């Protein structure tokens, strides 16, 4: 019999959603993604603490932001020894509303990879899908630096990313599901909203079908899964980035996993690009997307600050991790 993970790989590119490069090897993913929360989680494990300490020690005296980028790239380089494809490395979420600063950090990160001998084709720079982030991605793509637009919850964000010609988007299935479940409260029917009826699954499927229908080359990578049912309902999506825990469940199951997303038979002309005003208004009209985008930036920014504190402690000669507030 064939595992669900093997069946999924026949339809979809499987990506490991973790900073734990030692753990991901057992699932043989094509690509890997990281974010500030995953890197923070990894560096606090005993097996990865020396990697953080060594990287910080080797770059004393340089700007703090540059040390952070060195740490992120160090993990990315280790990940690229495991996966044959690409790694996504994220720009500081605190720059999500600053196009110029996002561009500077993205170029610096890519420069570190290139200095280590990694070609641009193996790196995706992750940027929050704010208007400012999308415009930074437009410039980066024109420079040959490919991007992964993250924290994507609204159809308007997906439209704007397509207009900007970004390489890949990461719509968040689980966080959309979380919002709708919380909003429904006691009225939520888990069985009725599972699988293809899951609001997060529906959001990603709508974006994927729109892209295929209009010949958009941007890749769609579903992200942030809460259960295996959300994953199997998106079999056929371009890519899915999956946590080690859910990868293990897929590997352990031999249940049938058919392809559920199939491209349309005909392709239509692209629609007119969204203006900034249209983008902001449509995003504003989507309460879920507005709330989850703001929350996501805050959470990633908080974890980036915690990583800063770990680095500061090492620079000061202390090895004790700060306690959470």
41 annotated active-site: no
Measured distance CA(200)–CA(207) in Å, rounded: 11
Measured distance CA(80)–CA(86) in Å, rounded: 7
Measured distance CA(32)–CA(316) in Å, rounded: 32
Measured distance CA(278)–CA(160) in Å, rounded: 10
Q: How many CB atoms lie within 10 A of CB 122?
A: 16
Select which of 45, 81, 126, 306 is catalytic: 126
Q: Helix, strand or coil for residue 263?
A: coil
C-alpha distances (whole Å) from 174 to each of 97, 226, 291 are: 24, 5, 14
Among 101, 92, 99, residue whose Cα is nearest residue 71: 92
Q: Rounding to the nearest 10 degrees, give the CA dihedral for residues 102, 104, 105, 110.
A: 120
First to last CA, the chain: 48
| Catalytic positions, written as ranges | 126
């Amino acid at each position: 019999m064939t595992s669900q993970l093997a069946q999924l790989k026949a339809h979809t590119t499987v990506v490991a959603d973790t900073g734990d490069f030692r753990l991901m090897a057992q699932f043989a993913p094509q690509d890997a993604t990281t974010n500030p929360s995953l890197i923070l989680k990894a560096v606090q494990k005993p097996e990865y603490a020396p990697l953080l300490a060594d990287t910080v020690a080797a770059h004393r005296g340089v700007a703090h932001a540059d040390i952070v980028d060195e740490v992120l790239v160090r993990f990315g380089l280790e990940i690229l020894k495991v996966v044959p494809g690409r790694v996504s490395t994220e720009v500081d979420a605190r720059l999500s509303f600053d196009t110029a600063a996002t561009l500077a950090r993205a170029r610096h990160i890519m420069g570190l990879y290139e200095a280590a001998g990694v070609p641009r084709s193996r790196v995706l720079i992750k940027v929050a899908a704010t208007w400012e982030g999308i415009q930074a991605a437009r410039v980066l793509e024109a420079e040959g630096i490919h991007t992964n637009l993250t924290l994507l919850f609204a159809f308007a964000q997906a439209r704007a990313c397509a207009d900007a010609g970004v390489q890949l988007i990461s719509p968040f299935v689980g966080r959309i599901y979380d919002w709708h479940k919380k909003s429904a409260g006691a009225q939520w029917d888990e069985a009725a909203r599972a699988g293809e009826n899951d609001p997060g699954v529906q959001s990603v499927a709508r974006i994927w079908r729109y892209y295929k229908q209009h010949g958009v080359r941007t890749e769609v990578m579903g992200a942030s899964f809460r259960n295996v049912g959300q994953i199997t309902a998106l079999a056929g999506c371009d890519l899915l980035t999956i946590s080690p825990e859910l990868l293990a469940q897929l590997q352990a199951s031999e249940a049938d996993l058919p392809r559920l997303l199939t491209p349309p038979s005909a392709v239509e002309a692209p629609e007119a690009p969204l203006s900034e005003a249209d983008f902001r208004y449509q995003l504003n009209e989507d309460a879920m997307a507005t709330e989850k985008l703001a929350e996501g930036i805050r959470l990633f920014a908080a974890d980036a600050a915690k990583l800063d504190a770990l680095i500061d402690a090492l620079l000061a000669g202390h090895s004790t991790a700060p306690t959470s507030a």
